[in-house]
Chains A and B, each alone.
Chain A
């Protein structure tokens, strides 16, 4: 009801307002900035003041860094979608941040003259005003649905006349829908029936299995096409940076060395690569100026003119003036260390790499007494999410260690670290100490062994939490008398009346001897008919070890493909962990964040449970 009244009053305005806010938002949507850009006529002086992301956004499909097959998929879907009449087609694009999901879509739609309408879930005063006083309390989910219905079912007269086609782009969802994917799915189901305009969802990650917002069955149910973009390979990033350097003649361009550093640091995030390049260029420019001022006035004036008219500092540039050459040579010599700093400043190593550095410590090349990587770097980067590193290291170290004494020492350090970490009152003090103990302990206590790549996993703790909770709920289900004594209940009562839960456990011997409470009851009351559906031999405990299956936990979240890929990479780079996860790594990134979030959520819970 709420959405109905709002669409009657505001549907056209709303589209407008949406478009407006789109332009306002500093996103790199090329088609909005008008025609001039397509002509490519911008002046050099203006360059530095513009947003490079917008400025150098790809304009043609060939500029895109998305792999060809994926692009073709997207293209053909767009074609199909624009032709389909009746039900609205839906597309789900996934991929790591900064690979150019939206950009690709925008480039293609711009070519096909399709108008993009984007949903913005940020609270927006216009929206609430438009919704009117009656609906001011309308939920975000309601607004979302209203937006879809408004823009998706009606095409404004103007648009029809111009032959424009429309496409809805959804890049973010109201929080409520993220928390409750069911709501989202219901909305989409309704839209599937009523809507006419195709929708594209662009999400950074897509969780496997049922946990995510778009479970597999749902995708199939609504016939949602899915394209998952892969991480951009370093080569492509480099290509893109070079392209920008070519286009950008407004300032000095960093050396190839710096470019490589940038590429190395961004891990396939093209957006951050461009930003870093921008930063570098700015620095270059100011430095060049300083140097110039140091030169004789005559030379300086000569150069300045030069600089403005044609600062041909492209790495491949052929005809250079003498002074420029001097300048160029000086720059790398005294700048390298600074450059490294400036580029490396904001690098946040992915957790996988940090764990890798911890588990496979490399000796410094100069002096074997020292470690190649400063443990404190890892500590500093981990301070915000200490537990995650902790869990991952713990989960994986035994797969790497070969010697019992080393393992013993390592876990001892972990034990020390955990003790320190639990000191909540002096947390600011103890947390870095705890992490440092852990990091240094693990990095130093291993006698050097042959490196063998083992996939890192990070789901064990999460699984444990989930299952612990399940058992805990089971305790609550039983006789209220035992709720308050979970210790006793878990040890004595649960093993006896274990029921439904055990069927889900494959490694615990409980499974072998389910005893239904109803069974006991039936026995007690002597109901013969109740006996038929009881498991035979309720308590056949045999104490042979063989019967107990060794736990075959499927906690490896890293898929096989990634593992294979890692091995290939390892051959190439020689280091098992500093691997850029490039193509076909869909699975490894899956739920790093999710797991983390869950873990942080659940820590209290689990800790309490084990604290009894």
Chain B
């Protein structure tokens, strides 16, 4: 049982559907027997993890597919116990240290130390190093990144690190310069359509090109989302209709509606309602920056250029604050409140001009 997006995930570098030149380069590199630390970056749903997985398979063979889930217990210097979930095979280990929040530094140090100090049990193993995949590396605290930079050098003999990040602006230059950056851009529309078609072929379905195109447009370059959309379309209605509705995720609709509500009325009471909706989104794990982005996109629609500039400026200001502070909701709310104040003033001025 698995979703199509997992079922039809390519498992070798040669089978990747796009950025083929890059795939070839990676293959070259692996075939030389060694590679430096990698920093794989690109937008969400562009296939970073897939690429890494293919790379690992190329490196270690099918053994990396035998994954197991492990919980590690790590104790911080302040005696706080942290539970960290890792996914590992005999050859590699995946971890998301940002799970541990402020303690991610300890996780990085301890984990990599453990991995690096345990030598490969199997002497016939082809490689003398293990690979640690660090997910969401852009969410690491600066502290952890500094620790990482050291750890990377210290254990370079027994352990290679692959960092996965959505954006490398947040990765400190010291790490960037120690890694080979691998940029995985989002596939373009044609590539997505091709992939959707090939998925449907493998499923034995026929996909009208119009529908594929609309799915591709709606997914906005996110391949995972495109395939998920395709699958929900299939659940919804098959055979496909060219004019079939493509359902976007409900949180996106919810977010859009929230923005619409903000434009309709500006008052503290409304803001109260908006807050509970924002909370609702956050509860469901929608990152606050995505909420920010979604709100911004929707809110500026009815504004003139000057207003837009103001609003974007506010958004940038408060979005930055999220990363400085500890309660995203406050800054989100502050942004919405700012918008409301600006917009209300603007509307009142417009109305006054009319009469």
The verdict on A472 contacting chain B, using a C-beta distance below 8 Å, is yes
Contacts of B341 in A (CB 8 A): 404-405, 407-408
Q: Is the CB of A480 within 8 A of B87?
A: yes
Contacts of B333 in A (CB 8 A): 394, 411
> Distance (Å) between the CB of A333 and the closest chain B CB?
48
Q: Is the CB of B101 within 8 A of A495?
A: no
CA separation between A533 and B98, bound complex, in Å?
A: 39
> Distance (Å) between the CB of B40 and the closest chain A CB?
13
User: Which residue from B69, B231, B272 sits with its C-beta under 8 Å from A399?
Assistant: B272
CA separation between A479 and B102, bound complex, in Å?
A: 26
The verdict on B346 contacting chain A, using a C-beta distance below 8 Å, is no
CA separation between A475 and B135, bound complex, in Å?
A: 16
CA separation between A493 and B224, bound complex, in Å?
A: 9
Contacts of A405 in B (CB 8 A): 341
CA separation between A551 and B231, bound complex, in Å?
A: 30
Q: Please report which residues of chain B, range 67-91, place their CB below 8 angstroms from some CB of chain A when the two chains form the complex.
A: 67, 69, 85-87
A483 touching B85 in the complex, CB below 8 Å, given contacts A468-B282, A491-B286, A492-B228: yes
Q: Please report which residues of chain B, range 194-230, place their CB below 8 angstroms from some CB of chain A when the two chains form the complex.
A: 222, 224-225, 228
Contacts of B251 in A (CB 8 A): 491, 495, 510
CA separation between A603 and B87, bound complex, in Å?
A: 26
Looking at chain B's contact residues, the main secondary structure is helix
Closest to B69 in A: A480
Q: Please report which residues of chain A, range 411-464, place their CB below 8 angstroms from some CB of chain B when the two chains form the complex.
A: 411-412, 414-415, 418-419, 421-422, 424, 460, 464
Closest to B238 in A: A523
Contacts of B334 in A (CB 8 A): 408, 411-412, 414-415
The verdict on B188 contacting chain A, using a C-beta distance below 8 Å, is no
Q: Is the CB of B286 within 8 A of A520?
A: no
Q: Is the CB of B254 within 8 A of A508?
A: yes
Q: Is the CB of A488 within 8 A of B139?
A: no
User: Which residue from A402, A460, A517 sits with its C-beta under 8 Å from B268?
Assistant: A402
The verdict on B3 contacting chain A, using a C-beta distance below 8 Å, is yes
A464 touching B283 in the complex, CB below 8 Å, given contacts A422-B324, A548-B257, A611-B98: yes
Instruction: Say which one of A165-173, A339-347, A539-547, A569-577 lies at the interface with B.
Output: A539-547
Contacts of A579 in B (CB 8 A): none
The listed residue with most B CB atoms (<10 A of its CB), out of A475, A481, A515, is A481
Contacts of A408 in B (CB 8 A): 334, 337-338, 340-341
Contacts of B249 in A (CB 8 A): 491-492, 495
CA separation between A122 and B286, bound complex, in Å?
A: 46
> Distance (Å) between the CB of B273 and the closest chain A CB?
6
Beta-carbon contacts of B100-111 to A below 8 Å, as 1s and 0s?
111000000000
The verdict on A550 contacting chain B, using a C-beta distance below 8 Å, is yes
The verdict on B29 contacting chain A, using a C-beta distance below 8 Å, is no
Q: Is the CB of B280 within 8 A of A551?
A: yes
Q: Is the CB of A496 within 8 A of B3?
A: yes
Beta-carbon contacts of B225-260 to A below 8 Å, as 1s and 0s?
100100110111000000001011111011011001
Contacts of B272 in A (CB 8 A): 398-399
User: Which residue from B236, B245, B331 sits with its C-beta under 8 Å from A538?
Assistant: B236
A415 touching B340 in the complex, CB below 8 Å, given contacts A538-B235, A612-B98: no
Contacts of A493 in B (CB 8 A): 3, 228
A609 touching B266 in the complex, CB below 8 Å, given contacts A411-B330, A479-B6, A488-B44: no
The verdict on A490 contacting chain B, using a C-beta distance below 8 Å, is yes
Q: Is the CB of B247 within 8 A of A411?
A: no
Contacts of B338 in A (CB 8 A): 408, 412
Q: Please report which residues of chain B, range 309-326, place their CB below 8 angstroms from some CB of chain A when the two chains form the complex.
A: 318, 321, 324-326
Contacts of B253 in A (CB 8 A): 509, 541, 543
Number of interchain pairs (Cβ within 8 Å):
222
The verdict on B279 contacting chain A, using a C-beta distance below 8 Å, is yes
The verdict on B276 contacting chain A, using a C-beta distance below 8 Å, is yes
The verdict on B290 contacting chain A, using a C-beta distance below 8 Å, is yes
CA separation between A394 and B285, bound complex, in Å?
A: 21
Q: Please report which residues of chain B, range 36-57, place their CB below 8 angstroms from some CB of chain A when the two chains form the complex.
A: 44-45, 49
A471 touching B269 in the complex, CB below 8 Å, given contacts A491-B290, A520-B231, A608-B99: no
A513 touching B250 in the complex, CB below 8 Å, given contacts A418-B327, A492-B224: yes
The verdict on B344 contacting chain A, using a C-beta distance below 8 Å, is yes
The verdict on A486 contacting chain B, using a C-beta distance below 8 Å, is yes
Beta-carbon contacts of B331-352 to A below 8 Å, as 1s and 0s?
1011001101100100000000
Contacts of B248 in A (CB 8 A): 541
Q: Is the CB of A407 within 8 A of B257?
A: no
Closest to A608 in B: B101
Contacts of B280 in A (CB 8 A): 505, 507-508, 551
The verdict on A1 contacting chain B, using a C-beta distance below 8 Å, is no
Contacts of B285 in A (CB 8 A): 468, 471-472, 475, 486-487, 489-491, 494, 609
CA separation between A390 and B325, bound complex, in Å?
A: 13
CA separation between A419 and B320, bound complex, in Å?
A: 10
The verdict on A476 contacting chain B, using a C-beta distance below 8 Å, is yes
CA separation between A494 and B296, bound complex, in Å?
A: 24
A394 touching B136 in the complex, CB below 8 Å, given contacts A486-B96, A551-B277: no
The verdict on B95 contacting chain A, using a C-beta distance below 8 Å, is yes
Closest to B4 in A: A524
Q: Is the CB of A496 within 8 A of B228?
A: yes
Closest to A524 in B: B1
User: Which residue from A390, A398, A485, A604 sits with its C-beta under 8 Å from B101?
Assistant: A604
The verdict on A553 contacting chain B, using a C-beta distance below 8 Å, is yes
The verdict on A87 contacting chain B, using a C-beta distance below 8 Å, is no
A539 touching B235 in the complex, CB below 8 Å, given contacts A468-B282, A494-B285, A510-B250: yes
> Distance (Å) between the CB of B66 and the closest chain A CB?
12
The verdict on B288 contacting chain A, using a C-beta distance below 8 Å, is yes
Closest to B267 in A: A404
CA separation between A484 and B92, bound complex, in Å?
A: 14
CA separation between A612 and B141, bound complex, in Å?
A: 11
A-B contact pairs, 6 of them (CB 8 A): A399-B268, A411-B337, A483-B85, A508-B250, A545-B257, A551-B277
A-binding residues in B (CB < 8 A): 1-3, 6, 44-45, 49, 67, 69, 85-87, 94-96, 98-102, 135-136, 139, 222, 224-225, 228, 231-232, 234-236, 245, 247-251, 253-254, 256-257, 260-261, 266-269, 271-273, 275-277, 279-280, 282-288, 290, 318, 321, 324-331, 333-334, 337-338, 340-341, 344
Closest 8 CB pairs of A and B: A490-B285, A608-B101, A418-B325, A408-B341, A408-B337, A484-B96, A398-B272, A551-B276
